[in-house]
Each structure stands twice: as structure tokens, then as C-alpha cells.
């Protein structure tokens, strides 16, 4: 590709496939992440982390959110306006794009469209403490918090911090579920690299909307992912201590293998299933076996059952730092 991408005539458009779609037409599978996280050489189970979630956090602005790393989904309330009207407002609001020369009249129309669009916009955010923690992936936020009629405008990650008394929000548009298809299709249509389209999407539209919504926060673009082991390290201890305060079981292990293989509930379920199958077998034997034989078989099964349960090693709950 030659020349600057910002001299192209075609303005960028939001969407997953060049048009906004209601949530009902998009993937809503909530896949959980890892069960074990590392902290200071030890491994802690977070399989029960669902219980530490505060439920859906839907906000109108980034102003007021505490510092931290979040996944977010920017959406419009589709129950109060038609998708067609929302699409028109989004296109108009984002029409003053940096990839073409824009007349002042167009900028004025864009400002008016933004003033009508912003009251319809909401953010659902999930504060992330650990890699792929349960409940904070984009698909989980959409499944748990959005209605079928809501319209997704964008999604990504945000790192909120205080710098010199000022609030700064670094934002990206990294969402494989809800943004990647749009970035890929625009990349092919424009014959531009996906990284360039991602930057165009952020600069010309998504960040502009977030800035309109959050006048008290300095919103900056970022091409960096924040859901990384390094970035989340400062928040792991906070999450573990929060789970303990809520009486959510946490177990500490010396190795990742020991942590991942610790599934006493699954083991017990398998043993109980075996016991039930043996009991059914004994009931069938009553038709042709003597009472003595039945009693012998029942005693044998009970001993094996207790022996199997004894092999399940229960790890004491972690008692905190």
C-alpha cells in the first residue's frame, strides 16, 4: 500500500460487517477462563471466582470508575430507538473522520448527531484482576448484561489510572468476538493492514464517542493489550483477598499441575456414579442370587466405595497472606 491511509475518500463505519446488529444476532457464549493463577511462586485456584462478581456494571460514563483494568462493551439502547436511527446517528457522529478532508458543515452535523447519540449509549464494564477471569470476557458481559434489542457499537479493554490528579483512560478495541470481523472486513475492503484499520476505528469514532460520554476523563488510544500477566500482576492479590473476605473457597498449591488437577467435587461425583451403578447391579442380582450373596456383594461395594473416597485428598482452604 502506498500513500497515507488518511487521504482515502471512504469514511470508516462502525459494525461487525459494515452495519450495526442487535445483540440477538451475535455470539453470546460465555466461555470461562483458567482456574489457576500464579502469585509469588505459588498457584491459587479461582474456579469459584464467579461468586466474587458484583453483577452487571452498566455506566453512562468512564468518569467515577475506580482505577484498574476493565473489559468493556459500548452499546446503544435498542428499545428506545430503532437500529436504523442508531446507525444513522453513529455514521453521522463519526463522519468527520481523519481519513478525508471534512467541511465545517459536516463537522457541525456530526456534533449534532453526537449530542443525540450519546444519551442512548451505555458501557458495561468488567474489572479484570486475573488472566481470563470468569465473568469479565466480552461474551460473558454481553450474555449476562445486555438485552437482545441492544446494539453493540464497540468493545475492547480500558486501563484507568490517576496521573497528577487527572484521570486517564487508555483504550483499545481488542475484542475477537465483536470487533475483529469488522476490522478484518474493513481491512480487506480498504486494502489496509488490520493494525491501521484498528487505529482508524479508534481515532475516528470509538474514542470520540467515549470522550463525549466522559468529559472528566482524558481518553487516549492504545494499541496495547492490557489483559496480560504483567499488567494484571498488581491486581491478583486484591482479588484473592476479596474472595477470602467473601468466604469464597480459595486453595493454594505449590505447582500449576497440582492446582489444575485438584477437582475433589468431580472426583466425588465419579465415585458416586460408580456406587450407583453397583447398587443397580445388586438390585438386579436379587432375582437369582441368595440373600447371603447379596449381603456379601453389598459389603464389598461399601468397602470399595469408602476406599475410593479416602483417596480424594482435600486441600485446606487458604487462610490469606
> 9 and 95: one domain?
yes
What's the average model confidence in pLDDT over 72-78? 89
Domain-located, residue 52: yes
Q: What SS3 state is found at 60?
A: coil
> 208 and 305: one domain?
no
pLDDT tens string 107-148: 778 788 888 999 999 999 988 877 766 678 888 888 888 998
> 10 and 83: one domain?
yes
Q: Give the end of a domain, one of 244, 275, 290.
A: 244
User: What is the predicted pLDDT for the residue at 214?
Assistant: 93
> 197 and 268: one domain?
no
> 18 and 157: one domain?
yes
Domain-located, residue 315: no
| Phi, psi of 8, deg, nearest 5 | -75, 150
| Phi, psi of 281, deg, nearest 5 | -65, -40
Q: Give the end of a domain, one of 210, 244, 278.
A: 244
Q: Give the end of a domain, one of 193, 211, 244.
A: 244
Domain-located, residue 319: no
pLDDT tens string 2-34: 444 444 444 444 333 346 778 888 777 776 667
The whole-angstrom distance between residue 96's C-alpha and the CA centroid of its chain comes to 31
pLDDT tens string 39-63: 889 999 877 766 556 668 899 999 9
Domain-located, residue 318: no
| Phi, psi of 101, deg, nearest 5 | -75, 130
Q: Return the sign of the alpha-carbon dihedral for residues 287, 291, 297, 303.
A: positive
Q: Which residues on adjacent β-strands are paired with residue 218?
A: 168
> 59 and 197: one domain?
yes
Residue 243 and residue 49 in contact, taking contact as beta carbons nearer than 8 Å: yes
3-state secondary structure 165-204: CEEEEEECCCCCCCCHHHHHHHHHHHCCCHHHHHHHHHHH
Domain-located, residue 302: yes
Domain-located, residue 252: no
What's the average model confidence in pLDDT over 56-83? 89
> 145 and 181: one domain?
yes
User: What is the predicted pLDDT for the residue at 105?
Assistant: 53
> 152 and 74: one domain?
yes
User: What is the predicted pLDDT for the residue at 53?
Assistant: 60
Q: How many domains does the chain have?
A: 2
User: What is the predicted pLDDT for the residue at 72?
Assistant: 93
User: What is the predicted pLDDT for the residue at 96?
Assistant: 53
DSSP-assigned letter for residue 205: I
pLDDT tens string 153-204: 888 899 999 878 889 999 988 776 677 676 777 778 778 777 777 777 676 6
> 193 and 296: one domain?
no
User: What is the predicted pLDDT for the residue at 97?
Assistant: 46
Domain-located, residue 121: yes
Domain-located, residue 41: yes
pLDDT tens string 230-277: 888 888 888 888 888 888 888 999 999 999 888 888 889 999 999 999
Q: State the residue range of the domain holding 279.
A: 263-310
> 69 and 211: one domain?
yes
For residues 93 and 312, what is the distance between their CA atoms, to the nearest angstrom?
A: 60
> 303 and 160: one domain?
no
> 270 and 239: one domain?
no
Amino acid at each position: 500500500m502506498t500513500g497515507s491511509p488518511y487521504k482515502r475518500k471512504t469514511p470508516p463505519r462502525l459494525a461487525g460487517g459494515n452495519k450495526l446488529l442487535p445483540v440477538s444476532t451475535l455470539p453470546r457464549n460465555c466461555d470461562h477462563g483458567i482456574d489457576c493463577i500464579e502469585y509469588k511462586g505459588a498457584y491459587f485456584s479461582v474456579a469459584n471466582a464467579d461468586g466474587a462478581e458484583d453483577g452487571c456494571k452498566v455506566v453512562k460514563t468512564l468518569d467515577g470508575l475506580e482505577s484498574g483494568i476493565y473489559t468493556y462493551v459500548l452499546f446503544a439502547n435498542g428499545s428506545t430507538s430503532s437500529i436504523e436511527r442508531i446507525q444513522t446517528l453513529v455514521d453521522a457522529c463519526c463522519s468527520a473522520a481523519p481519513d478525508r478532508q471534512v467541511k465545517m458543515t459536516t463537522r457541525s452535523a456530526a456534533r449534532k448527531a453526537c449530542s443525540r447519540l450519546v444519551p442512548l449509549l451505555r458501557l458495561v464494564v468488567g474489572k479484570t484482576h486475573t488472566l481470563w477471569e470468569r465473568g469479565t470476557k466480552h461474551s460473558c458481559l454481553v450474555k449476562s448484561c445486555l438485552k437482545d434489542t441492544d446494539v453493540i457499537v464497540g468493545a475492547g479493554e480500558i486501563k484507568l489510572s490517576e496521573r497528577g490528579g487527572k484521570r486517564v483512560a487508555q483504550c483499545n478495541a481488542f475484542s475477537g468476538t465483536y470487533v475483529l470481523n469488522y476490522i478484518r472486513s474493513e481491512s480487506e475492503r480498504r486494502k489496509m493492514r488490520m493494525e491501521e484499520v484498528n487505529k482508524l476505528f479508534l481515532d475516528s469514532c470509538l474514542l470520540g464517542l467515549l470522550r463525549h460520554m466522559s468529559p472528566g476523563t482524558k481518553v487516549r488510544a492504545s494499541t496495547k493489550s492490557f489483559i496480560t500477566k504483567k499488567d494484571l500482576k498488581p491486581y491478583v492479590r486484591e482479588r484473592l483477598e476479596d474472595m477470602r473476605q467473601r468466604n469464597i473457597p480459595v486453595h493454594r498449591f505449590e505447582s500449576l499441575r497440582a492446582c489444575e488437577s485438584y477437582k475433589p467435587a468431580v472426583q466425588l461425583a465419579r465415585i458416586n456414579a460408580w456406587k450407583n451403578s453397583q447398587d443397580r447391579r445388586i438390585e438386579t442380582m436379587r432375582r437369582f442370587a441368595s440373600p447371603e450373596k447379596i449381603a456379601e456383594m453389598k459389603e464389598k461395594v461399601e468397602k470399595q466405595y469408602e476406599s475410593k473416597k479416602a483417596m480424594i485428598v482435600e486441600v485446606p482452604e487458604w487462610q490469606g497472606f
